[in-house]
Structure 1
Amino acid sequence: MHDARALIEMGAEAVRRLARRGYSLDLSELESLQSRRNQNIRSADELRAESKRVASEVQQTDKQGGDISKLKERARELKDEIREIEAGQVQVEEQLRDLLLSIPNLPDDAAPDGDSEDFAVEVRRVGTPPAFPFEPKDHVDLGEGMGILDFARATKLSGPRFAVSRGVGAALERALATLFLDLHTRRHGYIEHAVPYLVTRKTMTGTGQLPKFEEDLFKTGVADRELFLIPTAEVPLTNLYADEIIPPAELPLALTAHTPCFRSEAGSYGRDTRGLIRQHQFAKVEIVQMVDPADADPTLETMVGHAEACLKELGLAYRVVKLAAGDTGFSAQLTYDIEVWIPSQNTYREISSISNFGTFQARRANIRTRGEGGKPKLVATLNGSGLPVGRTLAALFEQCQQQDGSIVLPESLVPYLGFRRVSVGGKPEA
């Protein structure tokens, strides 16, 4: 969310930057609403001051035995006028808030021009995609062939875009999540949290999922309580500090959580409907940081490294790209995607997005710290996937597959599993 005054002061610069992401800012509408808001505030203040003076005159005149009928009539008129202005103020405040909530974050000038993944700029490649002397299978055929992934029964339970893992498959999911959490907590200093999976509309609004992305969320409730299933742990982790002032000595805050994530994937039908790439429910380890705004840029680079560390531990080939301004998420200023190699598709696919949101989310959620002289100021928020379990499992199956259909797992998982190889029959082997 933006400060209306800041956008108006930026003027053409705000219009230019938002145009880079395909958003047309109507400055005249914003200025009109802000002007009406300010005028209403001034008028209401003036009327309240007059009302106070009239009330005092009523008391004095009454004590002196004078006629107070006209003064009382004026007092009633002032109350009606104040009530009318306050009603108008509520209306214009709602209109201004709705407009500000609909305006995406200003993209960083470091983001390349463009409006799709085709304009992303590659930053680096790490590892060499495996070259197989056979036609590699995709993770669905591998997992179902070994009996450790079951999409048919998942569809029976919940419909398409769900998966059941069993035996070694379930153990692998648990091992991956634990490995990621251990890396982030023990090596990178994040504090692990267990958070609710159901949150309020206010919480969803704080991180920018609402109002824009309501169709992509699963909604439920209890009695008259409206609740949403989280699409990512970013939502509860960031909003833990909503409406709070974080002491500067506590920054940076580094938080992590392993949660299920729920997404309707509205508008994505026909894309990645097979397997673990795009599902309605998936598990993910999220990393979130809250920092002084001056530290946000270097923190973003650091967090990219934290997500990369997970892939390096698994020995998976991947690349890092910087997203184009027009392909950056609604709340983000700058985003790096990490894309892992998927042999069956002969391409890199996104496995993690790490974003700097500047003060955009903090303004919406009212998360502050104290600056010079102890004056409250907004923090900067950042987050990223570190990593999703399902997509990592898919990449592991495909990059680590053998010609006989078995899978040789990376050494880093052995302490969590007790075995290194998954046989064709889905049995663990040392």
Structure 2
Amino acid sequence: MLDIKWIRENPELLDVALLVRGAEKQADLVLKADEARRSIVQKLQDMQSRRNSASKEIGAAMGQKDFDKAEALKTEVSKLKDEMQSVEEEARTADAALSDLLATLPNIPYSDIPEGLTEDDNREERKVGQKPGWNHPAKEHFEIGEELGLMDFEAAAAMSGSRFTVLKGGLARLERALGQFMLDVHTVEHGIEEINPPLLVRDEALFGTGQLPKFSEDLFHTTEGRWLIPTAEVSLTNLVREQILDQKQLPLRYTALTPCFRSEAGSAGRDTRGMLRQHQFMKCEMVSITDADSSLDELERMVGCAEAVLQKLGLHYRVVTLCGGDMGFGARKTYDIEVWLPGQDAYREISSCSVCGDFQGRRMNARYRLEDGKTTQIVHTLNGSGVAVGRCLIAVMENYLNEDGSISVPDVLLPYMGGVTKIEKR
């Protein structure tokens, strides 16, 4: 959430930022709502002040035995009390209106992000590794999986509908191996603390990370009022909700391997074949909580952690900086890592790493205390995939495909595969 004080002082910068994101200007609307709220609050404060003064005057009048004046003042106080109830309700309504409006405003992008509104406007930063050099034809992952008899979309659809997959045998084990491998890389080599978080959360948690109220249609809601997490970012970031940390504790770095659940409400007709875009998928998530001065450096570190996974797997990829129109609601800057998929002859996102500044921290009321022991500031938060396990499985399948249709297991995964070096037809 944006700071209303900052908006009052920089309304033109808010509108510029919204235009960069491809959204409509909102500064005038926000300022009007803020002015209406402040006017009502001022009116209420004036009434409270007069009530307090009149109450003191009653005592003075009684002391002087001016009973007529005392009665008149009592009548005034009683009337003010009745009127204040109505004004207090107006103040609550005005405050809620402003809060609701602020809750729908996206974060302010950093000035160094590319201009543009679609993924075509993203800026490529670097390419790493080599595309596979074999001569046999490439295949898409669903062709490979079905030919091996280890990927069953029909059985998944029969029990759950579209955008679900059943993995069997070697592919199920390979996906499990990938997730465990990622956790080990991040915890052992990168020093990130492993967390096993809840998969069901309350409204407040999703509000804190920015999925609510604006993106409820992208989520799955239970009948008892909880939500299935769309990413472990929600659970991990909310670990510091409504806390005041000491600056010396920062940065906090968390990672988790969890199922994620998304309705994909806005993805009708996109990636309908295969398991690129699923309602349920595994992801290894990273979250960092930092002070204000460290967050941009932490973003570079986080991207490096995600890249390390792909480099160890020998997968070719590129890193791009997202333009304003392609960036997520809570981000100020985002790097996407796109892995090469030979079957599609294209790069596809496998990790997205974002710095959110104090945007989520303000929504969560999460702060840190400076070394002076008195001053507090809002924490900065970052999140990134380290990486999406299902998409990594796809990349391994397509990049390690052999001419006979089998899949070679990357060397770094052999310790997790119980001696299996190749995944073959059942």
Give the TM-score taking structure 1 as reference length.
0.95
Matched residue SS, 2:212: coil
* Residue among 130, 140, 151 paired with 1:138: 140
Question: Which stretch has the larger CA shift, 163-172 or 234-243?
Answer: 163-172
- What is the root-mean-square deviation in Å for CA atoms of aligned residues? 1.4
Summarize deviations over 1:347-406 as a string: whole Å, max 9, x none.
Answer: 100000000101111111111102364211111100000011110000000000000001
Question: Which stretch has the larger CA shift, 146-155 or 271-280?
Answer: 146-155
Contact 1:410–1:420 (Cα < 8 Å) also in 2: no
Please name the residue that 1:378 is paired with: 378
Are 1:392 and 2:374 matched, yes or no? Answer: no
> Which residue type is aligned with residue 56 of structure 1?
K
> Which residue type is aligned with residue 353 of structure 1?
S
2-structure distance, mates of 1:212, 1:118 = 25
Matched residue SS, 1:145: helix
Contact 1:218–1:229 (Cα < 8 Å) also in 2: yes
Q: How many residues align?
A: 423
Contact 2:258–2:283 (Cα < 8 Å) also in 1: yes
1-structure distance, mates of 2:392, 2:268 = 22
Please name the residue that 2:402 is paired with: 402
Deviation at 1:138, TM superposition (A): 1.3
2-structure distance, mates of 1:131, 1:175 = 25
Please name the residue that 1:33 is paired with: 33
Please name the residue that 1:191 is paired with: 193
Please name the residue that 2:170 is paired with: 168
Contact 1:120–1:324 (Cα < 8 Å) also in 2: yes
Please name the residue that 2:86 is paired with: 84
Contact 1:339–1:351 (Cα < 8 Å) also in 2: yes
Deviation at 1:54, TM superposition (A): 1.8
Contact 1:104–1:331 (Cα < 8 Å) also in 2: yes
Are 1:335 and 2:334 matched, yes or no? Answer: yes
> Which residue type is aligned with residue 61 of structure 1?
A
Mind listing any 5+ residue stretches in structure 1 that lack a counterpart? none
Deviation at 1:60, TM superposition (A): 4.0
Mind listing any 5+ residue stretches in structure 2 that lack a counterpart? none
Matched residue SS, 2:300: helix
Identity %: 44
2-structure distance, mates of 1:32, 1:154 = 51
Summarize deviations over 1:313-353 as a string: whole Å, max 9, x none.
Answer: 11111110111111101110100000001111101000000
**Structure 2 vs 1, CA of residues 92 and 139 (structure 1 numbering), >3 Å: closer, same or farther?**
same
Matches within 5 A, 1:223-242: 226-242=225-241
> Which residue type is aligned with residue 251 of structure 1?
L
Matches within 5 A, 1:196-207: 196-207=198-209
Contact 1:188–1:306 (Cα < 8 Å) also in 2: yes
2-structure distance, mates of 1:315, 1:366 = 41
Contact 2:409–2:423 (Cα < 8 Å) also in 1: no
> Which residue type is aligned with residue 345 of structure 1?
Q
Summarize deviations over 1:114-162 as a string: whole Å, max 9, x none.
Answer: 0111011111111111133122121112112222221111111100100
2-structure distance, mates of 1:423, 1:203 = 41
Please name the residue that 1:70 is paired with: 72
> Which residue type is aligned with residue 95 of structure 1?
A
1-structure distance, mates of 2:419, 2:383 = 33
Please name the residue that 2:368 is paired with: 369
Deviation at 1:40, TM superposition (A): 2.1
Give the TM-score taking structure 2 as reference length.
0.96
> Which residue type is aligned with residue 331 of structure 2?
A
1-structure distance, mates of 2:380, 2:58 = 52
Please name the residue that 2:359 is paired with: 360
* Residue among 120, 124, 127 paired with 1:125: 127
1-structure distance, mates of 2:186, 2:82 = 59
Deviation at 1:90, TM superposition (A): 0.7
Deviation at 1:63, TM superposition (A): 5.2
